[in-house]
């Protein structure tokens, strides 16, 4: 268990134990304090607040303020109104709640003491907002951050609408590159479609108590090729990257990279934006290769340094399924194979009569084979986008036949390691040298120049990682865009704290991520 996850569990449990004592003093069944969300419902009822306050907690961003305000109000019903008491409620509830709950000096005073205390509503909201901003900034930067699964690229390990805690302590907290930013939002202010940050203060990459990423970790990171993007949420954004659009035009229109880039700018110039590292889109994948590894994929199996790696427990691949009669959606859903109109959840696509393409785990495939109408199941035929030259590094000797299922070998850069600058190496590592590590890189008359000096070799300044989704045929990952630098690492996905799909998925709540 990571240090960050352990600390979070200990502080979370300590706060709940404190609430247990506080509920008992307040005359509420103390076991109700141990159930997240339900405990705030009980507080709202006990304090005779309007129930709308409970439901406002569910609103993104705003809800965090409401929860803090409810906790502050509950503490006030113990007769504690001062600034330091409010600060302790927000910043150290794992210490302060047990004190209120179990100290003989503290008692629940109830509604009358609150009515007799005169404090303006505006001050209450200012206090709550100030504490929320400070607490959220400290917690999100140094301890953990909440993250919601938006796509099925990690199915069935992680499901769409799983709500996670991401541990910042696991790899060491990273200091934001853009410290002046609007709290609680990532890169864009909702409703305004403007940047949530300013760039005139920029802090170079700094990580405290740095620890390396390990193979098989499920990692949240900033999407490396999201430094430049076409800001069209439907067709582009992080779905089709700026660089993918350039390559598509090069291949389909048979033009040079410079000409393709110019055409993209001519068409989308007003919509093209750039982002610093910490404001690039958050992605979540599994680390399958670490710095210094040589990675290759053979017939869907990942080999690290020529040793086969076991597949993730709940991995998915695409298969072509031939049947003698149409498949029943209800029957498939009962097997765990989602046949739905929601493109973020659907696993089944009907290609033609009695021919389907289905993404499924080994267990789901075994169940499907038992259906009498299923005649044949075989690996799906790959589309053109799942083959070279649409795969990283997009060119170079020996890459002509690479596919998502048969890929590599590729060496993952390691801090302090030196490579010779050859044509093939430049194709693979030029972005690492020039973009991620901030060097001026040029080629003139067959010779390479780094920061205006002739160079025949290069020594890497950072470690890099190779990330892949567990849903191996439905994941935009390192096979398509390359390496993840260490300065893009956000944290380790540690715990599912809530999960929702037409209602809570109770079996997934408080489930450790493997």
The separation between the first and the last C-alpha atoms of the chain, rounded to the nearest angstrom, is: 11
Pick the closest to residue 435 from 287, 275, 257 (CA basis).
Answer: 275
- Tell me whether the omega of the peptide bond preceding residue 261 falls within 30 degrees of 0, making it cis: no
Which tokens is 105 given? 């000096």
DSSP 253-284: HT--HHHHHHHHHHHHGGGEEE--GGGSPEEE
In the block, residue with structure tokens 């670490």: 290
The helix-helix angle for 62-76 and 121-142 (nearest 10°) equals 120
Please give the positions annotated as active site.
Answer: 153, 285
SS3 state of residue 308: strand
Which tokens is 316 given? 């998915």
Q: Which string of b and e fits 403-429 if b means at least 16 CB within 10 Å?
A: ebbebbebbbbeeeeebebeeebbbbb
Which tokens is 14 given? 């300590």
Who contacts 318 (Cβ-Cβ below 8 Å, separation ≥6)? Answer: 357, 358, 359, 379, 380, 473, 474
Measured CA to CA, the distance from residue 305 to residue 287 in angstroms comes to 15
Measured CA to CA, the distance from residue 83 to residue 96 in angstroms comes to 13
Instruction: Let me know the angle formed at the C-alpha of 232 by 255 and 478, rounded to the nearest 5 degrees.
Output: 65
HSE-CB for 336 with a 13 A CA cutoff: 16
Phi-psi region of 507 (alpha: psi -120 to 50; beta: other; left: phi over 0): alpha
In the block, residue with structure tokens 């989704």: 469
SS3 state of residue 218: strand
* Long-range contacts of residues 405-408, Cβ cutoff 8 Å, at least 24 apart: 405/297, 405/299, 405/300, 405/379, 406/297, 406/298, 406/299, 407/296, 407/297, 407/479, 408/294, 408/295, 408/296, 408/297
The helix-helix angle for 3-26 and 38-46 (nearest 10°) equals 30
In the block, residue with structure tokens 């298969």: 319
**479 φ/ψ angles, rounded to the nearest 5 degrees:** -65, -25
């Amino acid at each position: 268990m990571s240090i960050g996850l352990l600390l979070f569990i200990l502080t979370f449990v300590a706060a709940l134990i404190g609430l247990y004592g506080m509920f008992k003093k307040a005359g509420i069944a103390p076991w109700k304090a141990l159930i997240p969300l339900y405990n705030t419902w009980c507080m709202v009822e006990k304090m005779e607040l309007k129930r709308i306050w409970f439901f406002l907690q569910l609103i993104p961003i705003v809800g965090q303020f409401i929860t803090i305000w409810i906790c502050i109000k509950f503490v006030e019903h113990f007769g504690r109104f001062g600034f330091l008491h409010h600060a302790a409620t927000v910043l150290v509830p794992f210490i302060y709640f047990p004190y209120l709950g179990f100290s003989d000096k503290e008692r629940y005073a109830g509604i009358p003491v609150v009515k007799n205390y005169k404090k303006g509503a505006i001050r209450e909201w200012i206090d709550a907002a100030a504490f929320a901003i400070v607490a959220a900034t400290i917690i999100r930067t140094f301890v953990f951050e909440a993250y919601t699964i938006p796509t099925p690229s990690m199915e069935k390990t992680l499901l769409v609408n799983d709500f996670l805690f991401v541990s910042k302590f696991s790899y060491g907290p990273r200091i934001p590159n853009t410290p002046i930013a609007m709290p609680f939002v990532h890169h864009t202010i909702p409703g305004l479609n403007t940047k949530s940050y300013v760039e005139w203060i920029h802090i170079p990459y700094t990580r405290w108590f740095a620890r390396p990423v390990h193979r098989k970790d499920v990692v949240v990171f900033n999407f490396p090729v999201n430094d430049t993007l076409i800001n069209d949420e439907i067709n582009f954004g992080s779905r089709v990257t700026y660089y993918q659009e350039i390559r598509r035009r090069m291949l389909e229109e048979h033009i040079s990279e410079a000409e393709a880039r110019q055409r993209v700018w001519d068409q989308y110039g007003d919509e093209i934006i750039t982002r610093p590292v910490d404001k690039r889109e958050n992605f979540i994948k599994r680390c399958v290769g670490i710095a210094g590894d040589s990675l290759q994929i053979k017939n869907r199996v990942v080999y690290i340094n020529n040793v086969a790696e076991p597949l993730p427990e709940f991995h998915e691949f695409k298969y072509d399924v031939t049947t003698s009669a149409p498949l029943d959606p209800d029957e498939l859903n009962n097997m765990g194979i989602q046949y739905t109109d929601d493109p973020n959840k659907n696993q089944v696509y009907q290609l033609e009569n009695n021919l389907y393409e289905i993404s499924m785990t080994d267990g789901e495939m075994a169940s499907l084979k038992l259906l009498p109408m299923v005649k044949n199941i075989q690996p799906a035929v790959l589309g053109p986008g799942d083959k070279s030259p649409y795969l990283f590094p997009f060119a170079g000797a020996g890459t002509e036949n690479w596919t998502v299922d048969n890929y590599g070998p590729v060496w993952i850069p390691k801090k302090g390691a030196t490579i010779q600058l050859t044509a093939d190496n430049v194709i693979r590592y030029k972005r690492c040298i020039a973009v991620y590590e901030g060097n001026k890189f040029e080629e003139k008359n067959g010779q390479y120049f780094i920061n205006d000096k002739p160079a025949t070799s290069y020594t890497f300044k950072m470690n890099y990682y190779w990330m892949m989704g567990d849903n191996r045929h439905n994941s935009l990952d390192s096979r398509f865009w390359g390496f993840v630098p260490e300065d893009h690492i956000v944290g380790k996905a540690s715990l599912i704290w809530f999960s929702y799909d037409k209602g809570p998925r109770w079996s997934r709540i408080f489930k450790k991520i493997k």
